Each structure stands twice: as structure tokens, then as C-alpha cells.
Structure 1
Amino acid sequence: MAGLFRWLMRLLVLMLVVGLLVLGGVYFLASRSLPDYDKTLAVRGLSASVEIIRDNANVPHIFGETDEDVFFGLGYVHAQDRLWQMIVQRRTAQGRLSEVFGTATLPVDRLMRRFDIYRLAQQSVAAQDAGTRAALEAYAAGVNARLDEINRGALGRGAPEMFLFNAPVSPWRPADSIATGKLMALQNMHHLQREILRARAQLALRDPARVADILPDAQGNGIAALPDYAALVPELPGSRQLTGDDPPQTRHPLSPFRARQFANASNAWAAAPERSASGGTLLANDPHLGFSAPAIWYLARIELGSGGVIGGTVPGMPAVMTGRSKKLGWGLTSSYLDDIDLYMEELNPENPEEYRTPDGFKLFETRKTIIEIKDAPPVTLTLRWTENGPVLPPSHENVGTITPPGHVAAVRWTALTGMDTSLSAAIALMQADTITHAIAAAEPFVAPSQNLILADRINIAMKTIGAMPRRDAAHESQGRLPTLGWKSENRWQGLSPYAAGPEFLAPPGGIVGNTNNKTVERPFPAHVSFDWGDSQRVMRWQELMQRRQVHTRDSFIEAQLDIVSWSARVLLSLIGADLWFTGTPAPDGSPERLRQRALELLVNWNGEMYEHLPEPLIYAAWMRALQRRLVQDELGPLTEEFATVDPLFLERVFRDIDGASAWCDVLQSTRVETCPETAQMALDEALVWLSERYGTALESLRWGDAHQVAHDHAALGAVPLLRYFVNIRQSTSGGDHTLNRGVASGVEPDPFQNVHGAGYRGVYDFADPDSSVFVISTGQSGHPLSRHYDDMATLWRRGEYVPMSLDEGLARAAAVGITRLVPVGN
């Protein structure tokens, strides 16, 4: 027996030793790709030396003799810190994810090949101006210099993920940078989902007019009533099932196609000198995108011939997309410009390879493409384009359910062009020194359309940039519903002139800003959009801006971090009007008493979505249960498309606007339910859900326990064990409709998980430019073993920032490393 025990102990020790050796080997291989920031490296492609100073936040400050050498340096640092992110973005744009990830990403590749954005990016290289082409070539050379260094030095394949997902890495090319920009545009494509959903909702509702409630118009006058979708396409039956070769749509973590509630958003505002305590202009910007680890944004400073530029870059693109120079600051918000239309193309009954045009039937433009798949046979796909654009598979956003028999759906979108000069505009913008120059520089921008908020030393402005479709005044749906593609009146009449985009220069009040709210009220077709991204945050923003006569950098930071929900203040007083202080006292432990305790907490709450309070969680659970209860009997399976709460819908229902209180009645029941009854039942339902999840002690609930931010690694975030090392989770304040925005996922098992918000924050003060600040939501590095993988995450969560200075001396004072790139032979 003793001998057996000794052998078991030896076996255990051996297993431990082997395990430690394996872990040590894995760590050694993974750590080989950690970049060395303190070195001198000889590289090809430079005209002179480049110096890269990493300040104590690991923000690179890049200096060179020429602009091309500086862009080379930017490409090099992007590849040092975010190589895996760049490679995955490129494969996504190319529709080549399945070569690495197998059949799981095949639906993403199928869809990306149909949109064909990489081929269009290749065509767009020639459309750039000479300076931009030189910048793209230099940037690509910098990325490739890092790839060469990795290959020559056996530096762990450049990223730990490369060991798990082994695939060859081709050199970076200028088209890859343009494709990265188009991928960003794709993530901002929300009008397509909205058109399809509006049509599906019309077909599902007994009274199609009720679609104005569930998909309400932005506040303002003059918006025309919708036509009946069934009347636009009379061949369409009441409901259809999906058909076609493409499998049902799923949203893979690597897919750039977002649900409509996660369309890009943002905040940006600026103050003129007369509204600034210091007498200088102020600007704040926090773009809202889906959270990921690492973040989409990367902080950098580049020293161009026109001066220093610092701010948020996107790895893969040689431009500071939001930031400042010494004389100019710029920020971006999604403009919600309606830059897309969906068409139903009629097939020729005699030849399904032809579709109807205003001039008769015409052959589709077709091209075959082969998708290589890891551990599976390749798939051949036939791409079809009409004069309007690419033909979509029936599964995309369930468009097959609204496509008439004998038709296919095709999409027209401004980004689907081989003449995309958006990067030329972005690079020119960095070199502008006044608002006038900046507005002129942004004219070539194509997609995604943005509101460009500007501040120079004496003035502020906002200009909508991006290609704006010119529609016929007789367009059957005014771009709000799919229409028949062969009708001339439904087709675009080219693009509107740049001057047609809304512009606000030197506003009389001295403040300009945007929270994705409606900016102009114009009649169609000059309307810009019928659908806007916000009607709630802007109310709180107006309150904060007008509360002070003058603003400071700190007051702008305070507004950027504000967590008061205007929606909660309005909805609770409206929905709970007949519930407050009513009913008789109920015994402890009863559902009635639990409801009374919840209402007692909410009646004294000011709408602050603070992570340590119970009220935000009670409110959010109540509104979620209420909206679901209101729509599920009317919409059935379509209910899942309305997983996040729409305050305008709830307000319309409880104010009974145009008869919207009809939603409160349960159609399947014989009695007629009132809105107060529905509100009470929804509150009881929410409290049951909260009790099962967190217990009945309402006072001990914490919003932050449910509102955990999900910075997840797209490839490894769901892998057991590894996910604890690569995902970044934190308790957060804010909510769907606060300025400090954190959009809830809306789906079980974590419906309030924070998945979309400000991955970058910046506040620029032109009275003292070097007192400007910025931060990103994770860290500069994409390497999970790097201390810079998540070192800004805690700062970001606490509402703290790092200095945004162009002072070279400050960067050197606490540098974490200095890299010198020298031409080969020097």
C-alpha cells in the first residue's frame, strides 16, 4: 500500500511538473510577441530616421523628417500593438474569416462577399489624391516593417492568437486601409435594418397604422405618413417564410453587421469663447461603438509638416479620426443621414437571370467567388448586382419575409462605390488650421455620413459630411420602406451637392452639439433623414449646457460623464401616475408589499443611473417587462426585434397619442386591459424576475451588478478559461439614454449587460491646449499579456482621463520606451 501511495505521489508530481512546463512554454511563446518599445531598428522604406516616444500612458508620439516617414511610424506602432485586430478586420472586409475560423464564420463571409467592399476598396486607391496615396503607401510599409521584424526575429508570430488560429499573413496594402474605413461604414449601416423592420412590422400588425407607435418618428413637424407596404408591393402575401441557399442569419461576434439598436452613435459639443470661462474654445467628443477587447480606438500623436496632431486613430487607417492639432479640434457623431435604399427587383418570368429596369429586362452583373473554409470543402458563391446594387440573401435581416415572389432584394448604399475618397478627406482634415479649411477639407468624405463638430481658436461649427443621395420628390416611400426597383421615381437621381448638408457656423448662442438627435426640419427630399438616433439624451444635454453661462473643460467632462436619465424622469411620472401612493398596506412577503416597496424607492429617485443604486435596476427591469408585455401579442416572434426599450413608444402609449393606448389591451383576452393595469402587471413581472435573480431585498440591489460592461475578445471571448484572461468586465453607471451612454444587450441571460458606448472620450481646451485630455476604454495594447492591455479600463470606468499634450518634453519625461527606426544602411 505504501508503495502504491509513493507511485501515486510521483505520478502527481510528474503531472504537475509537466503542467508547469507546458504553461511555461505557452507563456514563453505568447510573450515573444510582446513588443519592445525601447530599441533601434533598421528598416526598409524610410527616407530618414523616425523617433517614437511612448509616454507613460503608452501613447506613441511619432516624429520624422517627412509626413510619409511619420505615417510609416504610425503603421509600425499600429502593427506593434494591434496586429491581430488589423488582420481580423482585413479578413472580415475580404470575406475570408472562414479560412481561419471554419464554418462558424461562413455566414459572415457570404454576406461580405455579396457587399464586395474589398474589391471596391481596391478600386478606390486610384481615386485618392496624391498626398493620400503617398500616406497609404508609407503606412503600409510601416505595417510590413513590423511583419518583417516578426518573421526575422521569430517574435511569436506577432500576437498570441496567431498560434491558436494559424494562417499566413500577407503584406499590408493601401486597399486594406480603405477597406477598414468601409468596414466602419458597414457598422454604421442602420437604415437598411430600419426599412426592413418597418415593412415586417406593417405586415405583422392588425392595424398597420400602429407602426408609427412602435417605430416612432423623431420629434418635430412635417413628417409625411407612411404608405402601406403591402400596397407598394401588392404581390406580397401577409407573411412569408425564409427561402434561399443562405442559412438563417446569426450575429457572430466577428460580424460587422450590428442590430439596429446598436447602430453607431456619439456625443459631441463645442463652446465659443464667449461661452468659455477661459476665453478659449472648448470641444468634447465621445463616439459610441460596440465594446470589444481591445477597443476599436488607439491613441496616437503624429508630427506632420503642418504641425502636431493627437487623438483617436483606428488601427489599419493612417489618420487621427477625432482629435486636435494646435489650432483645430474636431469630433464626430453619426448623422443618421438616410444614405441607403432597399429595392425589390422583379425577375423576368422567362429568364430568372434578368431583372426589370426602367428600360426593360436586363442581365444581372454576375461573378463567381470561392470561399475557402478551414477543415471543410470550399463554397462557390455567385454574386449578383443590379443597377441599384448587390442582391441580398433572403436571410439577411429576414428580408426574404418581405420579398414578393418572383423578386429579389437589392440595396443601394453610398459606401458601395469604387470612388471612395473618405480617407483623403480624413488626412486633409488633420492638416487644416481653421474651421473654414476643415469644412472644405471634408468635402470628399463619402461614408459613413457624420456630423463634424469643429473648434478653432476663435470659432465653432457643425457640418454634416458624407455623400447625400438625391431622391425624386415622387419617391413612393420617401426612402422609408423598400420599393420596386424598376420604377424611375424610386431610384436615386445622383448625389446632392456638399452645400446641401446641414451646417451651423458660429451659432448665436455660442454652443453647438449633437447627440444623434434631429438637426434640421426640412421637407422631403431635402430632409436628411426621417429616423434619428436620439430624442432623449439631447434634452439632458440642453439642460446641462444652458445651466451655465460659461463652461470650462471640467464642466464639459461633467456633461460627458453625466448619468441622469431624462427618459426615466419622464416615463416614471407618466407610467406610475396611477400607482403611486395607491392601494392599502400589504403584509411583508406578499407581492403587493414588494410592489409598494419598489414604488417607494422609485418615487424619490432623480433618474441617476448610478451603479451602486437599486432604483436604476428596478426601473430598467420594469420598462423592459412593460414594453415586452405591450408588443408581444401584436408582433409575436417579431417582439425580439424590440429588445431594447424605446421611450418614445412608451410615451406615445401612455399619453394615448393618436390612439396608441390600444397597445395596452391584450388581444387574446376577452376583457379590455387599461394602461395602468398593464403597468402594474409589468412591474410585478419585473419584480419576480429580480427576486429570482438577485433576491427580494430590493434595497440591496446594485445597477452595476447587472450593467457590467462587456469588453469581450471577439475570437476568444467565449472560450472556457481563456475568457477570464482576455475579456474585461467592470461594473458601470449610465444607461441607454444617458449622456454617459451604456446600451444594454436586451437579451437573456444578461439583458442589462453594457455592450455599446463611448470607447473614446476627449475634451479639448484651446485656451490651454496641453490641458486637453482623452482616454479609451481598454488599453493601447491588444496583447493580453501586456500591462497596457487594460490599464486605461479602470480610469475610463471612474471617469478619469490622461493628458492629451503635444509637448514633446512631457512625453519624454516619463516615457516607457523610445523606438528609433532608421533606414537600412544608416
Structure 2
Amino acid sequence: MAWIFRWLVRLASGLIFLTVAALVLAYYFASRSLPDYNATSTVAGISAPVEIVRDNANVPHIFGSSDADAYFGLGYAHAQDRLWQMTMLRRTAQGRLSELFGERTLPIDEVLRRFDLYNLSVASVAAQDDRTKAALQAYSAGVNAWLEEVNTGARGRGAPEMWLFSHPVAPWQPADSIAILKLMALQLTSHLENEVLRARTSLLIDNDRLRDILPDDPSQGIAALPEYAQLVPGVPQFTPSTYAARDPLFPVKPRALAGASNAWAANATRSATGATLLANDPHLELTAPSIWYLARMELSSGGVIGGTIPGMPVILTGRSANLGWGITTAYVDDQDILIEEINPDNPNEYRGPDGWEPFRKRDSIVNVKDAPAVTLRLRWTANGPVMPRTQFDLGTITPPGHVTAIAWSALSDRDPSMSAAIAVMYTHNVEDAIAAGENYIAPAQNLVLADRNRIAMKTIGALPARSADHQSQGRYPAFGYLRENRWQGRFPYSDNPEFTDPDGGIIGNTNNKTTDRPFPHHVSFTWGDTQRINRWRRLMQARGVHTRDSFIEAQLDTVSFTARSLLTLMGADLWYTGDAAPIGTPERKRQVALELLSNWNGEMNEHLPEPLIYATWLRIFHDRLIRDELGPLAREFTHADPVFIERVFRDINGASIWCDVIQSAPLETCTDIARQSLDAAILWINEHHGEAIEAVRWGDAHQATHDHPVLGETPMLKWVVNIRQSTSGGDHTMQRARTSGTGLNPFENVHAAGYRGVYDFADPESSVFISATGQSGHPLSRYYDNLGELWRRGEYIPMSLDPDLARAAAVGVTVLRPEE
């Protein structure tokens, strides 16, 4: 027996040794791609030495003798820290993910190939102005200089992920940067999915109830629309969804997680210092690393600093010495679904206004790892690319003998949006910045501006010109062969909403409705916010004048206007009613929950139980309202719309009928459903977070999920690459922290402000900013999550253009020297 024991010990020791050796070897190879920030390199593509000074937060401050050299330095820094992220964004836009990930990502590649974003980007290079062409070329040269160093200097393939998904990395091209901007346009729009959902829902309920569940902004009414079944006859009354759960790599996000942001500015009359202020926090899906990368460049026009997206040579939100700019998603209705009739005698033709027309066609080959290549037959009509029925649930709203084409403003092969974005960086005042936005096409944004004297907001991006006779006003899919349903170009830039130096001294946007103009000169029927705007107004008007700190306070505000308004309706007939109940009974638990909520001010603080009680109650109440009417389609409504809930409780146009359960004999009231939902909410909380409802924490359920898009679900590795944090805020707070609304953890924080910045032109050097994770995309870098805890706590780092401050505590200085 002793020899068996000895051999078991030897075997166990050997396994431990091999495991440790494997881990050490893996660490060695992964760590080889960590860049040395204190280095001097000789590179091709610059005219004079370039210096990249990384301050103590690892924000690069780039100094060159020319603008081209500065862009080169930015490309080099982006590639050093985010090479994997950049290549993944490029692959996504190209529709080439399946080369790495196999059949899993084939549906993603198919969507991107059909939109043809990359070829449109290649063609759009010629549409850029000379300055932008030079910037794109220099930036690409900077990226490629780092790629050359990786290839020749044993830099561990540039990123640890590339050991797991080995594939040659092609040199960076100017079109790659334009493609990423177009990819962002795809991520930020949700009108395609909104049209499909509105059409599907209209097949199940009448127009009055449709206005309840998909309400218009209550401050604006619109003319009644025909029901979709009348507009497009022949569609089945209900078809089960074929749209599978989204892959984390899919750039089209669920409609509830479309782009969002806050931005506002105050002029001298509303500033305590007599100078302008500006705050901006764009909201995107949380990932590790964040999509945002903080950087500063010294250009011929002066220094610029702020938030960049790796892959693009532009400060998208930031400031110079004299101008600050911020962005919010404008929710422009920039997509339409056109239903195209196929010629029954010739499937290669579709109906046009003057008869049958041929599809424009091209084959595209998708290479798939460990599987045969797939050939896609791409088709276009005059309205746009044809999408298959299996994508976006289009099969559920397309009649037999028809296909659907997508009209979208971003599908331009002469798109100078990059030139417009770069031009804004060179301007010094509000007027010139607004003029610079004229050539911007997509993604449509509200550009919020502040120079040293003035403030303004301008919607930039193409507003499609629709006919006043459009069948559905762009809200439903409509027949593409009718001239009135086809786009008639774009409205002039001067027609885009613009607000300059308002009398009240403050201007801003929380994705709320920006104009009351009627169709077709409207901006959209669907807006991203009806709630945060109420809290923002209160915060702005509560002070006669503002400071940098009051703007920070507003960015971090976690009081939910929605909770405060809806709880008075949901609990109206439940507060302090009923007899005293024994401890542990459902009635007693309900009374305890109501007691907590009755004394709550609506603050969605991570340490409180009330936000979890409220959010769970609202979620279950909403589901019980719609489940019997909508059936399986109810799962598409992942988040309760506060306007819908209010319509139900106030019985606007008979909306309280939603509270009656169709399948039951009794007539249920909203009070009945509210009480039942609260009991179910308490039960859910007890099962998932413990019996003591007074001791539960919102932050335990509301964790920010900064997950690695590729490795985030990989056993073992996910503990290294994912970043999880307990967070405050909620769906409708100024510190927006949108919940997932699905799965086992429906309250996870998945969509929030990955960047925050506040710019003070009384003392520009006191301006501050932060990003959600860290500057590096390398999980072994100490800068992978160095900013994450500051972001979670609501702290910021200095946003200074002073080179001496950057050098004072620099973590490294990289010097790039030109080849002799």
C-alpha cells in the first residue's frame, strides 16, 4: 500500500507542477504583449520626433511637430493599448468574425455583409476632405507602426486574445476607421426593430391599446395611423419569433438598449463663475475594456482632449482651450422597412413604381472556421439592401411573395461624416462648430456646444425626407413600390433642430424629444427618454447659478423621478390598509415593503432595499399587465414603459382594461394586479436575495457587468477579464444604469455612461473626465481597470491640457523617431 501512496503523491505533485508550469508559461506569453511605455522607437511615417506622455492615469498626451504626426501618435497609442478591440471592431464591420469564431458568428457576418458597411466605407474615403484624408493616413500609419513592432519585436502577437484566436492582422487602412463610425451608427439606432415590434404588436391588439403599450411622447399627439393588417394584408396574425438571443458580439443591440446620453451646458448668466459650463456622459453597452479611450492631442489649432473610440482619429466628446463639445443620441428616424413584392414570374425582379425592376445582386463568400465557406447572395433594391426573414424578426411581418429592404441614412458611399467630426475639433466657437457639422451623415447626434461666451445644441446627421403622403409615416413597414413611401433625399441641414443661447441660460438633452414639428418635418416618433428630462429640469432650475461641482452632482444623481411618480399610483389603494398581520405571513411582508417604500425618496442607492423592491414590483406588474394580451410577444417588452404604466393607472382612453386578466372570469382591477404583483415581487426577492427584505441591497442585484465580449463567458478566464461592480442608479436616473431586463439577473447594469466629462471655461484646467474601466485592453495590465473604481464611486481625474502636469507624474514617455 505504501508504494501506491508514494505513486499517488508523485502523480499529484506532477500534475501540480505541470499546472503551475502551464500557468507560468501562459502568463509569460500573455505578458509579452504588455507595452513598455518608457521606450524609444524608430518608425516610418513621421516627419519629426513624436512624444507620447502618459500621465498617472495612463492617458496619453501626444505631441508632434505636425498634425499628421499627432494623428500618427494617436494611432500608435490606440494600437498599443487596444489592438484586440480595434481588430474586433474592424472584423465586425467587415463581416469576418466567423473566420475566428466559426458558425457561432455566421448570423452576425451575414447581417454586416448585407448592409455592406465596409465596402461603403472604402468608397467613402474619397468623400473626405484633404485634412481628414491626411489624418486617416497618418493614423493608419501609426497603428501599422505598432503592428510592425509586434511582428519584429516578439511582442506576444499584440494582445493575449490573439494566442487563443490566432489569425493574421492586416495593416490598418483609412476605410477601417470610417467603417467603425458606421458600425457605431448601427449600434445607436433602434428604429428598424421598433418598426417590426410595432407591426407585430398591431396584429394582436387594436390601435387604442397599441398607443398604450408603445406610447408616443405624451407632450405631442399624432394623427391616427391605419392598422398594419390593413396596410399590408396577407400577414399572418402571429408568427413565433425566430430571432435568437443576441451574441455579445452582435452590434445591433436590443431596442431597450439603444444609444443614450446626457449633455447640457450653461452660459455665463447661469454660471457662478461668469463663464460657460458643459457636461456630457454618453451611454453605451458596458464592456471590458470600455469602448472609450481617453486621449489628448496637440494640433495646429491647439490642444484637444477627451473621449476617443479606438480605431478612429477623432476626439468625439471633449474640449479644446476655447470650445467644449458633447454628444447625445438624437433618435432621428433614420431607418425604414420597405416591403418589396417579388415578380411571381421572375424571382430576380421586384415591383417598382413603373413596373418590374431587377435586383442588384452580388455574391459574398464568408469563410468559417472549422466549417465550409458560405456563399451569400446579396440583393439590393432601389430602397436599400434586402434582409432575410430570419433576421430582426422580419419574417413575422412580411407577407408571402415579398421581401424586406432597409432604407438607412448610414448606407451612403459618399459619407463625409468623419470629416465633419474632425472639423469640429479644429473650431474655436459655437458658430463654426455648428457649420462644421453640416456634412455629418450618421450616426445622428445632438451636438451640445459651449465656447467661452455662448452655448448651443444642434442636431447633426441626415434627416430623411419623407412624403407627406407616406402610408405609415415611417412608423410601420410599408410597400416599397409606392413613390410616396420612398425617401426623397434628405432635408437641408438648416432644417435640423438648432438652439442657440436660450433665454434661460441652460440647454441640454437626455435623449428626450427635441421638437414638436409635425410629420414629415419631424425628427422622430420614438424618443429615448420621457423620464430623465424631468429630473434634469428640476436639478437645473433648483439653482440660480451652477458650478462645475453642481454639474458633477447632476451627472451622478440617482433619484428616480419615475419611481416617485409611479409609486403613488401603484400603491394608492395599498398604503396603510389591512389589518395587522403576524410576522412571516405574506400580508406582513407586504406591509413591511409598503412601509419602506412609503418613506423612500426614490433614490436608487446601491445600499438600499427600496430600489430592489420597487424595480421587482414594477417588473412583475408590467409582465402581468401584458402577458395575457400579447402572449409570447410579451417577452419582447423587457422594460416597463413609465408612460404606459401611468396611462393604465389613470385609465387614459380606457387603458385600465390592461389590468383585467382575459382568461379569468372575474374583472380584475389595477389594485388587484398591483397587490398580487407586490406579493410576487417579495417572494422573488426572498428566493434570490434572502428573507429579510429590510436587509437586501440594490447593488447586489444591480451589478455593472463590464464583460469581455469574447472571453466573458469562458470558464476560469472570465474571472480575469470581467469587471463586476455594485452600482447605484437605474433605468431612469440621471446616473443612468440600464438594467438587462432579461435572464436570471434582470437587474444587472449593462448599459451606462462609459464616459463622463465636465468642462469649466472659467478655469478650463479644472475640467474633469473619467471612463468606466481603464485605458488598457490587456487583462494583465494594471491599467485594465485602474479607472473603474473611481468611475463607480463617482470620482473623476483631471482633464488638463497643461503638458507640465502630464509630465509631473507620468507613468511613461514614449518617443518615436523618424527613420533616417
Fold similarity call, TM over 0.5: yes
Cα separation, 2, equivalents of 1:622 and 1:671: 23
- Is structure 2 residue 501 aligned with structure 1 residue 506? yes
SS of residue matched to 2:387: coil
Cα separation, 2, equivalents of 1:442 and 1:788: 34
Amino acid at match of 2:407: R
Amino acid at match of 2:687: E
State the partner residue of 1:84: 84
Contact 2:52 2:63 in 1 (8 A): yes
Contact 1:277 1:551 in 2 (8 A): yes
Cα separation, 1, equivalents of 2:507 and 2:679: 43
State the partner residue of 1:110: 110
Cα separation, 2, equivalents of 1:739 and 1:225: 33
Contact 2:767 2:799 in 1 (8 A): yes
Q: Deviations over 1:541-590 (max 9, x none)?
A: 00000000000000000000000000000000011100001111111111
User: How far does residue 17 in structure 1 lie from its aligned partner after superposition?
Assistant: 1.8
State the partner residue of 1:380: 375
Q: Deviations over 1:699-754 (max 9, x none)?
A: 10100000000000000000001000000000000000000001110112100000
User: How far does residue 270 in structure 1 lie from its aligned partner after superposition?
Assistant: 0.2
Contact 2:243 2:392 in 1 (8 A): no
State the partner residue of 1:551: 546
Cα separation, 1, equivalents of 2:15 and 2:716: 19
Cα separation, 2, equivalents of 1:813 and 1:12: 52
- Is structure 2 residue 742 aligned with structure 1 residue 747? yes
State the partner residue of 1:529: 524
Cα separation, 2, equivalents of 1:586 and 1:4: 65
State the partner residue of 2:276: 281
State the partner residue of 2:2: 2
State the partner residue of 1:368: 363
State the partner residue of 1:806: 801
Contact 1:241 1:400 in 2 (8 A): no
Contact 1:345 1:484 in 2 (8 A): yes
- Is structure 2 residue 253 aligned with structure 1 residue 258? yes
State the partner residue of 2:13: 13
Contact 1:107 1:249 in 2 (8 A): no
Contact 1:313 1:322 in 2 (8 A): yes
User: How far does residue 248 in structure 1 lie from its aligned partner after superposition?
Assistant: 4.2
- Is structure 2 residue 405 aligned with structure 1 residue 406? no
State the partner residue of 1:594: 589
State the partner residue of 1:73: 73
Contact 1:222 1:521 in 2 (8 A): no
Cα separation, 1, equivalents of 2:592 and 2:365: 61
Query: Which segments of 5 or more consecutive residues in structure 2 lack a partner in the other structure?
Result: none
User: How far does residue 249 in structure 1 lie from its aligned partner after superposition?
Assistant: 3.5
State the partner residue of 2:147: 147
Contact 1:249 1:396 in 2 (8 A): no
In structure 1, which of residues 344, 353, 360 is the aligned counterpart of residue 348 of structure 2?
Answer: 353
User: How far does residue 10 in structure 1 lie from its aligned partner after superposition?
Assistant: 2.3
Amino acid at match of 1:202: S
Alignment of 1:160-559 (within 5 A): 160-205=160-205, 207-240=206-239, 248-559=243-554
State the partner residue of 2:97: 97
State the partner residue of 1:128: 128
Amino acid at match of 1:405: P
Amino acid at match of 1:231: Q
State the partner residue of 1:635: 630
- Is structure 2 residue 564 aligned with structure 1 residue 565? no
Cα separation, 1, equivalents of 2:436 and 2:382: 31
Cα separation, 2, equivalents of 1:408 and 1:622: 41
In structure 1, which of residues 592, 612, 616 is the aligned counterpart of residue 607 of structure 2?
Answer: 612
Query: Which segments of 5 or more consecutive residues in structure 1 lack a partner in the other structure?
Result: none
Q: Deviations over 1:117-162 (max 9, x none)?
A: 0010000000000110010000000000000000000110000000
* TM-score, with length taken from structure 2: 0.99
User: How far does residue 504 in structure 1 lie from its aligned partner after superposition?
Assistant: 0.4
Contact 1:54 1:816 in 2 (8 A): yes
SS of residue matched to 2:384: coil
**Which deviates the most, 232-241 or 461-470?**
232-241
Amino acid at match of 2:562: S
User: How far does residue 14 in structure 1 lie from its aligned partner after superposition?
Assistant: 2.1
User: How far does residue 408 in structure 1 lie from its aligned partner after superposition?
Assistant: 0.5
Cα separation, 2, equivalents of 1:105 and 1:221: 41
Cα separation, 2, equivalents of 1:177 and 1:351: 40
State the partner residue of 2:54: 54
Amino acid at match of 1:117: L
Cα separation, 2, equivalents of 1:61 and 1:562: 31
Cα separation, 2, equivalents of 1:689 and 1:343: 43
SS of residue matched to 1:139: helix
State the partner residue of 2:640: 645
State the partner residue of 1:797: 792
Amino acid at match of 2:760: D
Cα separation, 1, equivalents of 2:565 and 2:127: 50
Q: Deviations over 1:755-795 (max 9, x none)?
A: 00100000000000000000000000000000000010000
Q: Deviations over 1:401-447 (max 9, x none)?
A: 11011110111000001011111001100000000010011111100
Cα separation, 2, equivalents of 1:14 and 1:404: 65
* TM-score, with length taken from structure 1: 0.99
Cα separation, 2, equivalents of 1:489 and 1:376: 45
SS of residue matched to 1:692: helix
Change (3 A) 1:713 1:196: same
Amino acid at match of 2:231: L
SS of residue matched to 1:462: strand
User: How far does residue 501 in structure 1 lie from its aligned partner after superposition?
Assistant: 0.5
Cα separation, 2, equivalents of 1:22 and 1:605: 53
Q: Deviations over 1:243-272 (max 9, x none)?
A: xxxx74431110101000000000000000
SS of residue matched to 2:750: strand
Q: Deviations over 1:628-677 (max 9, x none)?
A: 00000000111111111211110010011111001000011111110100
User: How far does residue 235 in structure 1 lie from its aligned partner after superposition?
Assistant: 2.5
- Is structure 2 residue 684 aligned with structure 1 residue 689? yes
SS of residue matched to 1:251: coil
Cα separation, 2, equivalents of 1:241 and 1:297: 38
SS of residue matched to 1:396: coil
In structure 1, which of residues 698, 706, 711 is the aligned counterpart of residue 706 of structure 2?
Answer: 711
Runs (4+) off by over 4 Å = none
User: How far does residue 219 in structure 1 lie from its aligned partner after superposition?
Assistant: 2.4
Amino acid at match of 1:473: A
- Is structure 2 residue 58 aligned with structure 1 residue 63? no
SS of residue matched to 1:366: strand
User: How far does residue 241 in structure 1 lie from its aligned partner after superposition?
Assistant: 5.3
Cα separation, 2, equivalents of 1:249 and 1:107: 10
User: How far does residue 393 in structure 1 lie from its aligned partner after superposition?
Assistant: 1.3
Change (3 A) 1:241 1:591: closer
User: How far does residue 823 in structure 1 lie from its aligned partner after superposition?
Assistant: 0.6
Cα separation, 1, equivalents of 2:239 and 2:606: 44
SS of residue matched to 1:391: strand
State the partner residue of 1:775: 770
Contact 2:536 2:734 in 1 (8 A): yes
User: How far does residue 22 in structure 1 lie from its aligned partner after superposition?
Assistant: 1.1
Contact 1:334 1:451 in 2 (8 A): yes
Contact 1:553 1:763 in 2 (8 A): yes
In structure 2, which of residues 613, 619, 627 is the aligned counterpart of residue 624 of structure 1?
Answer: 619
Cα separation, 1, equivalents of 2:380 and 2:52: 46
State the partner residue of 1:32: 32
CA RMSD of aligned residues (A): 0.9
User: How far does residue 11 in structure 1 lie from its aligned partner after superposition?
Assistant: 2.3
Amino acid at match of 1:18: L
